[in-house]
Each structure stands twice: as C-alpha cells, then as structure tokens.
C-alpha cells in the first residue's frame, strides 16, 4: 500500500483527468443526449466535475475513502437528473471499500460495489441501453483479469476499458428500456447511449492516470528484484503483459 499522500495525489490526478475529458466531450455527450434524451448529459457532468475539482482542491483531507466520498457527494449535489444520483450516489456508497486504502483488491471491491449500487438505484441490467451496458463488462473483466488471470492492475484496467468500449457499441442497435430514452421506445434504436459513453470516458481518463502511477510500480517490481537470481521466477508475477 502506498502512502496516503500519494493516494491523495492519485485521486486528485484522476479527478483532473476525468474533468478534462468530460469538458472535451461535453458537446458530444449533449448531442448524444439530444437524440434520445433531453440534451443535458454533457453539461450536467461538466458542471459536476468542475465542482468536484474545486471540492478536492479546497480540502486538506488525505484519507482516500473520505476523498472519494467527497467526489460522490459533490456529484450528487451538482449533477442532478438521472446521472447525478447514479454516478454520485454509487461513488459515495462504494467509497467505503477504500477504508483501508487503495490497493488492487480494494479497487476490485470498489468497482463491484459501484456497479451493484448503480444497478440497485437505477434498476437497469445489461441490454436496457444505459451506463450499465458499459459498466458491467468493464467491472467483470477487471475482476476476472485480476483474480483469475492474475494480470497486473494496469493490464486489467486496460482490458476493462476495452470491454466498456464494446459495451458502448452494443448500446447503439438496442432499444432503451430504462431512463428518459425509454420514452422513445423503438425510436431509441440506432443511437448510442450518453451515460454508457461518459462511463467509458471516465474509465479511459482513469486508465491514463493509472498508467502514470502504476507503470513505475510495475517496473520497479519487475526490474529491481532484491535477490536478482531468484525472485524473477520465484514470485511468479506475470511479465511482459501490456
Ligand atoms: P437525465 O436522463 O435525467 O437527463 P442524464 O442526461 O444526465 O440524465 O443521464 C442520462 C443517462 O443516464 C442515460 O444515457 C443512461 O446511461 C443513464 N440512465 C438513465 N436512467 C438510468 C437507469 N435507470 N439506470 C442506469 N442508468 C440510467
Ligand atoms: Mg439528459
């Protein structure tokens, strides 16, 4: 487990990266939402993430669970609509998984708790044309990559992002059965879901930050064994993975 100050730095970096990505995609997300919703998804999330950036900058809090909870609380109060409680409330609820700090196991627990809360709050499952369609394959892929395939967290996250991307593509040809888009019935077919799309952007931004923070750690583990002759094979850690 890395020090709390480094964890705070990583959370801050992730918040900035997500905020920048949402800002860059604000118009596109709103365009997607204008086709099957009420044209506010980009603006909603942008406003929310700007508030999150300010909230994180304004606090001296170092505890990762408290910081992540603050992210969720700020989104709930600033975003509104369907996405506010789904994103924010689920982050708040899942933040307790970081009570002992951020490590590989707690990120898996966080991802699972976040998905469970989104499903619980929104009542959507895969195939309803919502953010759940991007999130579910991403979370399952992340967990399996770490727990069964024993990939390093960064490789697992990269696979999760790929899975989310396929999930987003899957939302286009299907009919919406939850949220505002469901009011359109069959007319929602042929349009990509905005919430699934923003979920992918958040994951991509987090992957960028994780690459910055974890590359060093993976390289250190892989290239600086304490006992050069033995440990490379003895610890059995998968090497050469992307
Ligand atoms: P609103 O629909 O209230 O305007 P947003 O436009 O901010 O809220 O967010 C719309 C997105 O929220 C949709 O694209 C979809 O991904 C997601 N969403 C809507 N309803 C649900 C639900 N019941 N469960 C999961 N996700 C949902
Ligand atoms: Mg909307």
45 CA closest ligand 1 atom index: 7
Measuring from atom 19 of ligand 1, which residue has the nearest CA? 179
Find the residues whose C-beta lies inside 6 A of ligand 1.
33, 37-38, 40-41, 44, 81-83, 86, 118, 122-124, 130-132, 178-180, 193-196
Note the pLDDT tens digit of each residue in 99-108. Answer: 999 999 999 9
Length of the chain: 242
Residue 24: count other Cβ atoms within 10 Å of its Cβ.
13
Å from CA of 179 to ligand 1 middle:
5
Measuring from atom 5 of ligand 1, which residue has the nearest CA? 41
132 CA closest ligand 1 atom index: 25
Q: Are residues 26 and 215 in contact, defined by beta-carbon separation less than 8 angstroms?
A: no
Please compute the mean of the pLDDT values over residues 110-125 and round it to a whole number: 98
Rounded Cα–Cα distance for residues 72 and 197 (Å): 19
Å from CA of 82 to ligand 1 middle:
5
What's the pLDDT at 18? 98
Predicted TM-score of the model (pTM) = 0.89
In 60-193, which residue ranges form alpha helices assigned H by DSSP? 64-79, 83, 90-94, 104-122, 132-147, 153-171
Note the pLDDT tens digit of each residue in 52-96. Answer: 999 999 999 999 999 999 999 999 999 989 999 999 999 999 999
Ligand nearest the Cα of residue 82 is: 1
Tokens for 99? 């009570």
Which domains does the chain carry?
Answer: 4-223 (1.25.40.340)
Q: Mutation test of ligand 1: which of 29, 41, 49, 135 has the most ligand atoms closer than 8 Å to its C-beta?
A: 41
Q: Per-residue confidence at 41, pLDDT binned at 50, 70, 90?
A: very high
Å from CA of 75 to ligand 1 middle:
14
171 CA closest ligand 1 atom index: 16
């Amino acid at each position: 487990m890395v020090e709390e100050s480094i964890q705070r730095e990583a959370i801050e970096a992730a918040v900035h990266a997500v905020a920048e990505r949402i800002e860059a995609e604000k118009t596109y997300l709103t365009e997607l939402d204008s086709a099957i919703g009420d044209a506010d998804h980009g603006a909603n999330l942008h406003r929310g993430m700007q508030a999150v950036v300010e909230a994180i900058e304004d606090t001296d809090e170092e505890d990762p669970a408290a910081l992540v909870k603050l992210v969720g609380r700020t989104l709930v109060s600033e975003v509104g609509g369907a996405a506010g409680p789904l994103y924010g409330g689920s982050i708040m609820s899942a933040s307790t998984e970081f009570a002992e700090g951020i490590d590989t196991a707690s990120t898996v627990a966080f991802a699972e708790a976040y998905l469970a809360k989104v499903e619980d709050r929104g009542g959507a499952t895969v195939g309803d044309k919502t953010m759940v369609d991007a999130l579910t394959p991403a979370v399952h892929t992340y967990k399996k990559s770490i727990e069964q395939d024993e990939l390093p967290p960064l490789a697992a996250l990269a696979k999760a992002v790929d899975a989310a991307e396929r999930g987003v593509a899957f939302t286009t040809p299907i009919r919406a059965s939850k949220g505002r888009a469901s009011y359109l019935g069959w007319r929602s077919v042929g349009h990509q879901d905005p919430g699934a799309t923003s979920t992918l952007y958040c994951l991509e931004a987090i992957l960028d930050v994780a690459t910055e923070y974890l590359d060093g750690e993976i390289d250190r583990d892989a290239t600086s064994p304490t006992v050069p002759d033995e440990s490379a094979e003895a610890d059995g850690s998968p090497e050469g993975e992307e």
